[in-house]
Amino acid sequence: MTQDPRPAPFFIGESPALDVLNSVAMPRSVLYDWLDTPADLLDWLVAAGLAQDHEVAPFRTDPATPELAQAHQDIRAFRERFRAFIEGVSGRELTQADMGHPMIGEINAILMRGTRFLQIEATAEPDATRPLSLADRHPITTPGDLIVRLATVAARLITEANFHYVRNCEGPSCTLYFLDISKNHKRRWCAMEVCGNRAKAAAYRNR
């Protein structure tokens, strides 16, 4: 087995939808793509918490299947269209006029495809008041269902986040996005150890 030369993927976005964009990054002047191959995609979805290992396990046995190759291609294309959307709307609040953006239509169309049903289940951490709860299930039965998980988190971001606080890291060549959920909304960096310290060092040299 060859060792993966990539560092661990970035999960710094405070939203899996933004971390999808962060699955391409250039942390140290080398460009990495954590969705490079269909197998990478499955690994990333599990690492991001968007799929369980047992859900994607059937696709791992044959990573060369055309359905998985198609899903991989569709998700990479979705990622870049979603990036263009986020670039256009970050830093301001969304309005109902944004419903006219083709990305909203695309996400809605993907969400319509997904199988979805409710199930009663035992609450994971049962308390006296609610030992049973209602679980919202979107099973993954084919590789084509994988993109539904991405569309779901994208839809959550669009409907729940204040886009005023969706930002690009201030690192000069950094492309990473995050939702600034800090109390004072003063977050500037993807991660202190990636861009923050570098900016501090540069400021120190300039003094």
| Interface contacts to Zn ion, rule CB under 5 A | 169, 171, 174, 176, 190, 195
Residue 197 CB, nearest distance to Zn ion (Å)?
Answer: 11
Identify which of residues 143 and 171 has a Cβ nearer to Zn ion in the complex: 171
Residue 198 CB, nearest distance to Zn ion (Å)?
Answer: 9
Identify which of residues 56 and 195 has a Cβ nearer to Zn ion in the complex: 195
Alpha helices in the chain (DSSP H): 16-21, 38-47, 53-60, 66-89, 102-113, 146-160, 197-206
Comparing CA positions, the residue from 162, 107, 157, 156 lying closest to residue 136 is 156
Residue 167 CB, nearest distance to Zn ion (Å)?
Answer: 11
- The Cα-based distances of 113 to 37, 104, 106 in angstroms read 24, 15, 11
Residue 78 CB, nearest distance to Zn ion (Å)?
Answer: 23
Residue 10 CB, nearest distance to Zn ion (Å)?
Answer: 9
Identify which of residues 17 and 56 has a Cβ nearer to Zn ion in the complex: 17
Identify which of residues 38 and 171 has a Cβ nearer to Zn ion in the complex: 171
Identify which of residues 37 and 175 has a Cβ nearer to Zn ion in the complex: 175
Identify which of residues 140 and 176 has a Cβ nearer to Zn ion in the complex: 176
Long-range contacts of residues 36-43, Cβ cutoff 8 Å, at least 24 apart: 37/63, 37/72, 38/63, 38/64, 38/68, 38/69, 38/71, 38/72, 39/63, 41/71, 41/72, 41/75, 41/146
Cβ distance 12 to 24 under 8 Å? no
167 DSSP β-pair partners: 178
Residue 35 CB, nearest distance to Zn ion (Å)?
Answer: 19
Amino acid at 77: A
